[in-house]
A and B are shown apart, each in its own frame.
Chain A
């Protein structure tokens, strides 16, 4: 099962530092997290980028993660 590590900001919603998810497809991972944490919304997660095993992906909509993958949600970066 993939490991989702929450930033201190997301911990305000989850109350814990990390969790394992059964789903492999990103959309389903988000659904699983929203189901598990009452105050976490799909909108909140979908507006963030995600790092999967260190690779930052701004729009991870179709991503599939491995069983040993590590995911971090983070703010989308732009630039100047």
Chain B
């Protein structure tokens, strides 16, 4: 798709199909399923951030009259270190198992050690107190600087840094080193008239989804089993859970409930294998629901990071060299998003001399999970802050500087390929021409601008469209709907079938009902699952033509299909889609279309954000007074949802920039595991986030779609950070810009 298309339904703001259920409370979330005979599971968690487990005695808990089962790591059977697709790319099965239930070591405060299933939640909690764990407490390592020091306590004796020509012979907390470069970085800096170099820090931050992790698992006498859970990828829950419990995939059905937010954090399993192991042992269904404390201390936040950025430019604004360094916390097990950080850091810029080095470092915190554009916000924060400072130093408008150096079609990326058609320049121009940017800045306020890049992905999606005899249909998708995909699937199918979207009912089908679908993440669903929907709908149209042709005794090639009507081009006859479906019994059986694809050609999405802040000089409190999010959607299938994604990404990024951070004491214990002390932005904290949808079509999608779920969280860190610095005439180098930190900057520089 490369030229503008006319659409009948795409681009409309239709009523969302899940809306009524959600506002009336009918929608069934992770904690909402109860089954006959169901009992409750609770988890014993480590009070220490780093300790060897000397022994676990569960006998007293097992003797509790209301307890049905107790499980530990040993109940996972013979788990070996092998790579599986566990939601956010490859994961090591042994690490996954050891994160669900600790083996011989606890690696963070809150690390699960054992679980109990009992008649009531209270009984399960009481039984947890009866489990006797003996620890040998070790010194915790709580940040990358300490973890990378020679002589630091080592979390894993079998981890040797990968990424050097020769693998070191001594174990280390550095799992991986990665370097990417192109051009001649030294020559690039030698050409520069101005060089800016700074060091930055970003905090551990959580996705902050409102719904805690919850599941109900049932293991039946015949070995069949079922897990109901809130997840971004129920097929990946099936893979991970089956692997840990030694089950055939066909014997485990996973049903995705409605989901109350995920943002990457619900792409991995925590309780699901444990609940099923408890059910297998207890012979009853088991429900497990985390409380908020558990969500904070034991589920994946995103990486805290230390970063360095150095940018050189000529006086005319030409950027000549860009250099970066980053160390990302992975949490207790290897696998931070350092790699995409390295790949994205300077991608918004068309610069020939670039070098970035990154480190994936384990620390005694919970294992990180994906969070919207994983790895990119931290890296691009550092890059964008320095680019703004370059603009300031040479006296150039920051948008003009970006326009002069903007990545475009043909720009060589540091990670390999040249970019295809992208919309960064269009986003920058929209920002420059916006009412926000043209408006005068109020007294005492600061203004920040930043750009963001995310790849977006394709991947495997499976879809069926089952037509009914009245011409309505059901769309079965395998991608949990976390951002409005049911509405966009409905609209794309309607566009192909040329019938009202409301005649098509989209549902998220369980793992028994469809072939494998990758999880919802990577901004892939509207793009990839949308392509599968289009393919399935085209399959339906093909069958409609064949059935009508059979009725008219002509060939299918002699039948046209337009506006929901089959037309005999060799005669006068016409039949509506409903009439053909009604006649399906007489023409070979019911009509059902399938689209099972591995989508390729995902189009990157660039975003540009503008932020005005006002800072209370006495308290350091920051108020966002105006904010505009501009992003390339390729084609907005449902503009309201696209705007919602822009706003949601912006608000999460603002929270990360302003207030959100994990605070640990000296023993590595998290001190603020609740929304009272871990402060995410509320609606009342922020102005309406203004949005501008840019549409530069992705030529690889039939309708031009690019994913929009992730790029929007990247620019806020630097847009807010620079804006705050501008308001107080200081340079921000550490997030969040919380009142104490801002006040310290005001007072101490």
Chain A residues within 8 Å of B, Cβ to Cβ: 5, 7-9, 12, 47, 51, 53-59, 70, 72-80
B421 to chain A, nearest CB (A): 10
A-B contact pairs, 7 of them (CB 8 A): A9-B179, A9-B180, A55-B700, A56-B417, A70-B417, A80-B372, A80-B521
Which residues of A lie under 8 Å from residue B455 when comparing CB positions? 56, 77, 79
Q: How far is the CA of A73 from the CA of B700 in the complex (A)?
A: 20
State whether B598 touches A79 (Cβ < 8 A). no
Q: Assuming A8-B180, A55-B700, A56-B602, is B416 touching A77 (CB within 8 A)? A: no
Q: How far is the CA of A75 from the CA of B455 in the complex (A)?
A: 12
State whether B417 touches A78 (Cβ < 8 A). no
State whether A75 touches B600 (Cβ < 8 A). no
Q: How far is the CA of A5 from the CA of B87 in the complex (A)?
A: 29
State whether A58 touches B267 (Cβ < 8 A). no
Which residues of B lie under 8 Å from residue A55 when comparing CB positions? 417, 420, 600-601, 700
State whether B521 touches A79 (Cβ < 8 A). yes
State whether A9 touches B178 (Cβ < 8 A). yes
A55 to chain B, nearest CB (A): 6
Q: Select which of A7, A47, A57, A79 is within 8 A of B415 by beta carbon.
A: A7
Q: Assuming A56-B600, A58-B457, is B178 touching A77 (CB within 8 A)? A: no
A33 to chain B, nearest CB (A): 15
Interface string of B398-420 (1 = CB under 8 A from A): 00000000000000000111111
A5 to chain B, nearest CB (A): 7
A11 to chain B, nearest CB (A): 9
Instruction: Tell me if B547 is interfacial: C-beta within 8 Å of chain A.
Output: no
State whether A7 touches B416 (Cβ < 8 A). yes
State whether B420 touches A79 (Cβ < 8 A). no
Q: How far is the CA of A12 from the CA of B728 in the complex (A)?
A: 46
Q: Assuming A7-B416, A47-B90, A51-B417, is B600 touching A58 (CB within 8 A)? A: yes
A12 to chain B, nearest CB (A): 6
State whether B416 touches A80 (Cβ < 8 A). no
Instruction: Tell me if B343 is interfacial: C-beta within 8 Å of chain A.
Output: yes
Which residues of B lie under 8 Å from residue A57 when comparing CB positions? 600
Q: Within residues 256 to 305 of chain B, which ones have a CB less than 8 A from any CB in chain A? A: 263-265, 267
A3 to chain B, nearest CB (A): 12
State whether B264 touches A79 (Cβ < 8 A). yes
Q: Select which of A9, A76, A80 is within 8 A of B373 by beta carbon.
A: A80
The number of chain B residues with a CB under 8 A from chain A is 49
Q: Assuming A12-B165, A58-B600, is B179 touching A79 (CB within 8 A)? A: no
State whether A54 touches B417 (Cβ < 8 A). yes
Instruction: Tell me if B110 is interfacial: C-beta within 8 Å of chain A.
Output: no
A1 to chain B, nearest CB (A): 19
State whether A54 touches B267 (Cβ < 8 A). no
Which residues of B lie under 8 Å from residue A51 when comparing CB positions? 416-417
A63 closest partner in B (C-beta): B600
Q: How far is the CA of A65 from the CA of B524 in the complex (A)?
A: 25
Instruction: Tell me if B659 is interfacial: C-beta within 8 Å of chain A.
Output: no
Instruction: Tell me if B339 is interfacial: C-beta within 8 Å of chain A.
Output: yes
Q: Select which of B88, B372, B458 is within 8 A of A58 by beta carbon.
A: B458
Which residues of B lie under 8 Å from residue A58 when comparing CB positions? 457-459, 598, 600
Instruction: Tell me if B45 is interfacial: C-beta within 8 Å of chain A.
Output: no
Nearest 8 pairs of A and B residues by beta carbon:
A80-B264, A79-B522, A72-B416, A51-B417, A80-B370, A78-B89, A79-B521, A80-B372
Q: Select which of A9, A12, A78 is within 8 A of B370 by beta carbon.
A: A78
State whether B370 touches A75 (Cβ < 8 A). no
Which residues of A lie under 8 Å from residue B687 when comparing CB positions? none
Q: How far is the CA of A56 from the CA of B454 in the complex (A)?
A: 13
B418 closest partner in A (C-beta): A54
Q: Assuming A7-B415, A74-B416, is B600 touching A80 (CB within 8 A)? A: no
Q: How far is the CA of A79 from the CA of B483 in the complex (A)?
A: 14
Q: How far is the CA of A27 from the CA of B374 in the complex (A)?
A: 30
State whether A76 touches B418 (Cβ < 8 A). no
Instruction: Tell me if B62 is interfacial: C-beta within 8 Å of chain A.
Output: no
Q: How far is the CA of A30 from the CA of B104 in the complex (A)?
A: 40
State whether B179 touches A78 (Cβ < 8 A). no
Which residues of A lie under 8 Å from residue B456 when comparing CB positions? 79
Instruction: Tell me if B68 is interfacial: C-beta within 8 Å of chain A.
Output: no
Q: How far is the CA of A51 from the CA of B454 in the complex (A)?
A: 16
Instruction: Tell me if B710 is interfacial: C-beta within 8 Å of chain A.
Output: yes
Q: How far is the CA of A9 from the CA of B417 in the complex (A)?
A: 15
Which residues of A lie under 8 Å from residue B454 when comparing CB positions? 79
State whether B374 touches A78 (Cβ < 8 A). yes
Which residues of A lie under 8 Å from residue B416 when comparing CB positions? 5, 7, 51, 72-74
Instruction: Tell me if B181 is interfacial: C-beta within 8 Å of chain A.
Output: yes
State whether B522 touches A77 (Cβ < 8 A). yes
Which residues of B lie under 8 Å from residue A77 when comparing CB positions? 89, 340, 343, 455, 457, 522
State whether A54 touches B598 (Cβ < 8 A). no
Which residues of A lie under 8 Å from residue B417 when comparing CB positions? 51, 53-56, 70, 72, 74
Q: How far is the CA of A53 from the CA of B699 in the complex (A)?
A: 14
Q: Within residues 489 to 531 of chain B, which ones have a CB less than 8 A from any CB in chain A? A: 521-524
Q: How far is the CA of A79 from the CA of B524 in the complex (A)?
A: 9
Interface string of B438-460 (1 = CB under 8 A from A): 00000000000000001111110
Instruction: Tell me if B703 is interfacial: C-beta within 8 Å of chain A.
Output: no
State whether B181 touches A8 (Cβ < 8 A). yes
Which residues of A lie under 8 Å from residue B522 when comparing CB positions? 77-80
Q: How far is the CA of A72 from the CA of B418 in the complex (A)?
A: 10
Which residues of A lie under 8 Å from residue B418 when comparing CB positions? 54
B85 closest partner in A (C-beta): A78
State whether B178 touches A54 (Cβ < 8 A). no
Which residues of A lie under 8 Å from residue B524 when comparing CB positions? 79
Instruction: Tell me if B163 is interfacial: C-beta within 8 Å of chain A.
Output: yes
State whether B600 touches A79 (Cβ < 8 A). no
State whether B710 touches A79 (Cβ < 8 A). yes
State whether A9 touches B163 (Cβ < 8 A). yes
Q: How far is the CA of A16 from the CA of B411 in the complex (A)?
A: 22
B22 to chain A, nearest CB (A): 22
Instruction: Tell me if B371 is interfacial: C-beta within 8 Å of chain A.
Output: yes
State whether A79 touches B90 (Cβ < 8 A). no
Which residues of A lie under 8 Å from residue B90 when comparing CB positions? 47, 76
Which residues of B lie under 8 Å from residue A76 when comparing CB positions? 89-90
